[in-house]
Chains A and B, each alone.
Chain A
Amino acid sequence: AQSVTQLGSHVSVSEGALVLLRCNYSSSVPPYLFWYVQYPNQGLQLLLKYTTGATLVKGINGFEAEFKKSETSFHLTKPSAHMSDAAEYFCAVSERDSSYKLIFGSGTRLLVRP
């Protein structure tokens, strides 16, 4: 069965520093790949997704992610962290079938230090 691994349940960075959140998936067939963000007391909001085409995907709020098939990875980055980026981030995948069911990683809480 498909699984998603997010390394690090908590990541702490200084404001202005690079943000790197890691995500690996288990499928040998590349699935659809997503990053969602959850701000406190809110639902999940789509940051970006990869379905096909260019492997470097740009999302909202300056985030981007790169799909690397050889590494089965889809890591999320942002060059310069802002205090408003503090949230929980979820990597998710769905199989390339008609169900589009999402399988989520366990989440990474990003803390941004002033």
Chain B
Amino acid sequence: DADVTQTPRNRITKTGKRIMLECSQTKGHDRMYWYRQDPGLGLRLIYYSFDVKDINKGEISDGYSVSRQAQAKFSLSLESAIPNQTALYFCATSETGGDQETQYFGPGTRLLVL
């Protein structure tokens, strides 16, 4: 089984709809991240969390919110989706101490906002 899983893998929604993307991990890591990938722009950080009670905005947090329900779960919400939020979304994890520089990525969620 994959260490970092994302659901759904693909989603089509309409402008104005609320949508939640979920990330779960079995690596036992305390840090979790959400990125979006757009063609020609690489990945950009949306939010990151160092533990359940520590959530921080990244480079492009406007229009997004997150929830860290447990150490293993980190959800990304689009409160009112808009077409320019169409992108590939990745969740990642890392651990404090040890190999703390390395992030491990999920398979991604492809989101299309019509």
CB atoms of B44 and A100 under 8 A apart? no
Within 8 A of A (CB), among B80-99: 90, 92, 94
Which chain A positions have C-beta within 8 A of B106? 43
* Size of the chain A interface, CB-CB below 8 angstroms: 25
| Residues of chain B having any CB pair with chain A under 8 Å | 4, 31, 33, 35, 40-45, 48, 56, 58, 90, 92, 94, 100-108
Residue on A with the closest CB to B91? A43
* The one of A42, A46, A94, A106 that contacts B42, using a Cβ cutoff of 8 Å: A106
The yes or no answer to A102 lying at the interface (CB within 8 A) is yes
Give per-residue flags for A38-56: 1 if the beta carbon is below 8 A from chain B beta carbons, else 0.
0001111110010100000
CB of A38 to closest CB in B, whole Å: 9
Complex Cα distance, B54 from A97, in Å, reads: 17
| Residues of chain A having any CB pair with chain B under 8 Å | 4, 9, 32, 34, 36, 41-46, 49, 51, 90, 92, 94, 99-107
Residue from B33, B35, B44, B103 having most chain A Cβ neighbours under 10 A? B103
Which chain B positions have C-beta within 8 A of A34? 101-102
Residue on B with the closest CB to A46? B102
Which chain B positions have C-beta within 8 A of A46? 102-104
CB atoms of A101 and B40 under 8 A apart? no
CB atoms of B4 and A43 under 8 A apart? yes
CB of B64 to closest CB in A, whole Å: 16
Given contacts A43-B90, A90-B42, contact A101 B58 (CB under 8 A): yes
Given contacts A42-B107, A43-B107, A43-B108, contact A104 B101 (CB under 8 A): no
* The one of B31, B43, B44, B105 that contacts A45, using a Cβ cutoff of 8 Å: B105
CB atoms of B105 and A94 under 8 A apart? no
Instruction: Please give 19 more A-B residue pairs, beta carbons under 8 A apart, in addition to A43-B108, A101-B33.
Output: A4-B42, A9-B40, A34-B102, A41-B107, A42-B107, A42-B108, A43-B105, A43-B106, A44-B90, A46-B103, A49-B102, A92-B43, A99-B56, A100-B94, A100-B101, A102-B92, A106-B41, A106-B42, A107-B40
